[in-house]
Structure 1
Amino acid sequence: MHATPPRKRLARRLTASAAALVATAGVLATAAPAGAAAASSGHGHGHGHGRTVDVQLLSFNDLHGNLEPPQGSSGTVTETQADGTTKVIPAGGVEYLASSLRTARKGHEYSITAAAGDMIGASPLMTGLFHDEPTIEALNKLKLDVTSVGNHEFDEGRAELTRMQRGGCHPKEGCFEKGKKFRGADFPYLAANVTDEKTGKPILKPYTVWEHKGVKVGFIGVTTKDTPNVVTAEGVKGLKFADEVETINKYAKELDRQGVKSIVALIHEGGMPASGAYNYDCDTPGAGAGISGAIVDIAKKVTPKVDALVTGHTHQAYACTIPDPSGAPRTVTSAASFGRLYTDTTLTYDRRTKDIVRTTVKSPRTGNHVVDRTQPKAADMTALIDRWKKLAAPIADKPVGYITADINGRGSEAYEKPLGDVITDAQLEALAPADKGGAQIAFMNPGGIRSDLAFKASGNEGDGVVTYGEAFTVQPFTNMMQTKDLTGAQLLAVLQQQVSGPNTDQPKILQISKGLTYTLDLTKKGADRVVASSVKLNGTAIDPAKTYRVAGNEFLMGGGDGFPAFKEGTNKRVGASDLDVFNAYLAAHSSKAAPLAPPAADRITVVK
């Protein structure tokens, strides 16, 4: 059994919003393609009688190895009630996801389970310590039929992704369980738009065809073309990421030529619904309603040959109807993240045309459903978790700090997160000494904070105890810290890049260390939303001509997440890992007798 410290993981980041609350469960079934005639009767649950048969499509996305129920806000969904109030529901955990999917499949002879990427990567310690082998094992038990790759599937590079698909023990650490060899994924990982730079060929299968009793449904899988900007250069070395729409349309034609007329695209790219409630109807007309983001443009351009789009990446929930290029409505869905929801979509298959009949008939189950924790746990998943937890326990259960209450690092309620303040203060404290880098300011990218710190006891620990496993779940990347010289002008550019360029529509508000303050005016547009005159360090206005020592993790300092100004820094000094720095701060600033309280999170003044 492995009881050594976790290996250095390749930097990985998610461009998605740090929002962990989710949105929308639509109810429309896939809608009819242009010119499609209504099919004759023969629905029901599709036992092969009559011209049409209902195919159940169950889907989810962005699991990120969350086999155990996620902590804090990462483990809840918000539900709008009939009276307009909202209710927060605990959700997620693979024991419950398995029960939900198995229950949903009952009575459906034609049922497919698909996913839209980021099944692994940025994972909690229990699976991350073992390079996500436990997650693949769990997905096999879930009977996942197919998934696209996501950007996080490349966190450890192409070779490791290939091992996830084909199996085999880790090349450096070997087999994690005596007498057991990792068998790999029973389902195909699809990577249609990820090609080898030298050969031009996809590194994994571009598509697959599901078939049962003559019913055929094709699946094309792509990841965001922005993957090179959100994964370390080493992780995508030698790879090319093509445009999502061009790739899907190319392979849809190929499937059509093969006689496969029913096609679903699995796309690891997404959007932002107007509401944070999972049951929000994003087809509601009116200003400010609906969905925005990259997936809208993609959905409008993907060929009508594709009958449904299953998406992800933004960790949001929606089941929307977006017109295809012919003007016919088509469903675009996403099931939040971390296994808190699953989507159930009805695809009506016409045996004569071999195509999906995209009608406007509503199915009572079509949409997003909560993976609630009141249902029975799946016993096989409990056994899997217990087995891997036992292997991880010597490391995971070690106390590293103490807190007085939940310290939130995710959720959409505020741009500045209390846990973001703790993390940046930890980085500043570690790198401030002259021999460690001389840092005056520290920054943290919000998507890199993967969880809250929950006060409530987990496992055998006591309330308020922070274990190594919990700290790892917050900072799972083991990025090395860096300190660089930036001018005041470059520092201002960093702040402006939060709300401009690629971050214009979906701002990425950096977490900042104590001493740095500024005003974010959301009534303005673009870079002007950062009020330049308000940017101060310890009460003194930033001097554009002066040089400042700035700290951040290697991913951020390399320009990741749309912050090229960090790359302009000079006089780089490398420090300890972000996880080591975080744990050292918890040890120095908390004890059982004097636990750490959540900070005020008052460094960024927001004007709305």
Structure 2
Amino acid sequence: MKIRPSAALALLPLPFVAACGTTSGLRQAPAGAAAARVEVGIIALNDFHGALEPPRAAVVAPGPGGEAIPVPAGGAAWLASAVDSVKARHPNHVVVAAGDLTSASQLASSLYLDEPAVGVMNRIGLEFNAVGNHEFDRGWKELQRLQSGGCEKNTRLEPCQLEPFKGAGYQYLSATTYRADGSTLFPATGLKSFGTGREKVTIGFVGLSLRSVPTLVSPNQLAGLTFGDEAQAINRAIPALKAQGADAVVVLIHQGGKTTAEDPNSCEGLTGDIRPILDQLDPGVDLVVSGHTHWQYVCDYAHGGGSILLTSAGVYGKLVTDITLTIDPATHTVVGKKAQNVIVQSQPYTSGRGDAPNTAAYPQFQPRPDVASYVAKYVGAAKDLINRPVGRLSGVAAKPSSEDASGGVLGNLVADAQLAASKGAGARIAFTNPFGLRAPIDPAADGTVTFGQVYATQPFNNELVTMTLTGAQVRAVIEEGLNDAGSLQALSPSAGFRFTYDMRRPAGSRVVSLTLDGQPLAPAATYRVTVVNFLAEGGDGFATFRQGVDPVRGMIDSEALQQWLAAAPVRQVPQEERAVRLDR
């Protein structure tokens, strides 16, 4: 699909992009006949995170008897086949995404600056993508290179290592990301049309990043950018898209929610930051494709006497959302809408976290050959590094699946590694943020852990920073993870440090006890504390870390974990509970 600029409306400061595609097979109605209703299939993805290979993860879904079963899912070549199968059901279709297609990626994608993740999306036929927070991880100039192509070096890694990079064939959209002059970094909106004459219909898209991107990305990567209110940007876009002929308005937003159900097509118990955004929207939005929370749901969200269809396809390409909008071209309105999350069932796997065999309860896709061959080129180039042993571990190190946002034994292991690596800087405590741990470490039968596994857990290449904080500041920074301003995140501490907390208490006073080596932390005493530079810069809302003094920079976080694993014949997984929640 070719995307061309369209004239911006004189009274609106947002730039717009239009794209037109005509579908054959639509007939123009005879003179005097009512125009037939037109169905458009919207095929939606989110949070792919460069998952080129099957991520050895499952979608929990209802089984034949209603029981919950794990369905092995994901992998770019299988995702391509699933998208093709949904396209085949919709003569009129468009493929869209809600952000975080790149970064926090598998090593075979990350080593090559996620050029292969973009290449996969090009082959799948993606047309529009809302910019997520992780797409800024390497800086906005590198993100512009992903859009436009070329081999300009913006990071410590070399671009175009295996082949020339032509850039994304799809359009990044972000109505909330502003330059200093007020223009948006990428276009705010896009259009796609289907059919001709009286049966022509047009879909308008507005894409958005999170307003909270500055709390999720290192500040130096966002220099010169500001991020605005999501609902306000959508409400500005609605009349502008309508003026350009949009019969339906679709929001692609990198924000989302979570449900209490395991069924990927349920909306039971929906909570999250997407809700207040939806509640502020003006009439006119028909569909919201969301992401960010790595959750899956299909919701009929009540709004203004009507409803908004809300969807999310989880994470890592394990699901794709099949959405149908039925449009009346005579009245320029959506008269029907429905959606279903399709599980991208791929290869079965066995792991220390449990087995996930294939099931006949859901379709099993076959890898699309061209995408499989393309992925194999990058995986093959990275194979020796991915498979290099770095140490042995006594068992699986994973985060809990509960909603307490604890780092679990994986957080313990990583914090211990960071403490050991920063002893020379005087560190007595280390903390890691559970949201920064991207994958469990599931060793081989003999305990072997590979570099690829370590990198999958810590793919951001953050540096360790050791600083001095008072005991009162340590308490304050833990409280920041437990407040009501964002998602709950109980920092994972290193061995010897323990805290208890109670979420029934008021925000700011939820920490009940703090001890180091069995002794209460003294508020006025000082302690050397190690975190990654993302946290040291106030990332994830931990602003108190910015008050640390006498900072000393250390090694890369993943290198610290490798050294820790290698320093023992078999590193024991630290099982003790260090961040203890009292209200459960």
| TM-score range relative to shorter protein | 0.7 to 0.9
Q: Which residue of 2 aligns with 1:372?
A: 345
Structure 1, unmatched stretches of 5+, are 1-44, 283-288, 457-461
Q: Which residue of 2 aligns with 1:260?
A: 246
Equivalent of 2:332 in 354, 359, 364? 354
Q: Which residue of 2 aligns with 1:603?
A: 578
**Aligned counterparts, 1:442-481, within 5 A:** 442-456=430-444, 464-481=447-464
TM-score by length of 1: 0.83
Contact kept, 8 Å, 2:407 with 2:433, in 1: the verdict is no
Distance 1:320 1:160, change over 3 A: same
Contact kept, 8 Å, 1:343 with 1:369, in 2: the verdict is yes
Equivalent of 2:497 in 509, 516, 521? 516
Contact kept, 8 Å, 2:51 with 2:316, in 1: the verdict is yes
Equivalent of 2:398 in 404, 408, 416? 408
SS in 1 for 2:552: strand
The CA distance in 2 between the partners of 1:406 and 1:46, in whole Å, is 54
Contact kept, 8 Å, 2:319 with 2:342, in 1: the verdict is yes
SS in 2 for 1:451: coil
Q: Which residue of 2 aligns with 1:328?
A: 306
**Aligned counterparts, 1:129-278, within 5 A:** 129-171=111-153, 176-177=160-161, 180-197=163-180, 199-213=181-195, 214-275=200-261, 277-278=262-263
**Does 1:337 pair with 2:315?**
yes
Distance 1:93 1:587, change over 3 A: same
Contact kept, 8 Å, 2:247 with 2:329, in 1: the verdict is no
Contact kept, 8 Å, 2:104 with 2:438, in 1: the verdict is yes
Matched to 1:236, the amino acid is L
The CA distance in 2 between the partners of 1:46 and 1:328, in whole Å, is 32
The CA distance in 2 between the partners of 1:88 and 1:220, in whole Å, is 34
Q: Which residue of 1 aligns with 2:277?
A: 298
The CA distance in 1 between the partners of 2:165 and 2:434, in whole Å, is 33
The CA distance in 2 between the partners of 1:171 and 1:498, in whole Å, is 36
Shift of 1:81: 4.6
Q: Which residue of 2 aligns with 1:582?
A: 561
- Aligned residues with identical type, % of pairs: 34
- Give CA-to-partner distance per residue, 1:328-359, whole Å, 9 cap, x none: 11111111111111111110111112322246
Shift of 1:124: 1.6
Shift of 1:311: 0.6
SS in 2 for 1:527: coil
**Does 1:440 pair with 2:424?**
no
- Give CA-to-partner distance per residue, 1:132-188, whole Å, 9 cap, x none: 00000000011112111001111111211111111112426655356x320101111
SS in 2 for 1:586: helix
Contact kept, 8 Å, 1:63 with 1:119, in 2: the verdict is yes
SS in 2 for 1:297: helix
Contact kept, 8 Å, 2:482 with 2:503, in 1: the verdict is no
SS in 1 for 2:253: strand
The CA distance in 1 between the partners of 2:66 and 2:89, in whole Å, is 34
SS in 2 for 1:470: helix
**Does 1:424 pair with 2:408?**
no
Matched to 1:487, the amino acid is T
The CA distance in 2 between the partners of 1:149 and 1:219, in whole Å, is 13
Contact kept, 8 Å, 1:453 with 1:466, in 2: the verdict is yes
Structure 2, unmatched stretches of 5+, are 1-23, 30-34, 347-363
Contact kept, 8 Å, 1:416 with 1:601, in 2: the verdict is no
Matched to 1:272, the amino acid is K
The CA distance in 1 between the partners of 2:308 and 2:401, in whole Å, is 29
Q: Which residue of 2 aligns with 1:69?
A: 54
Q: Which residue of 1 aligns with 2:514?
A: 535
The CA distance in 1 between the partners of 2:265 and 2:246, in whole Å, is 34
Count of residues in Structure 1 that have an aligned counterpart in Structure 2:
530
Shift of 1:83: 6.0
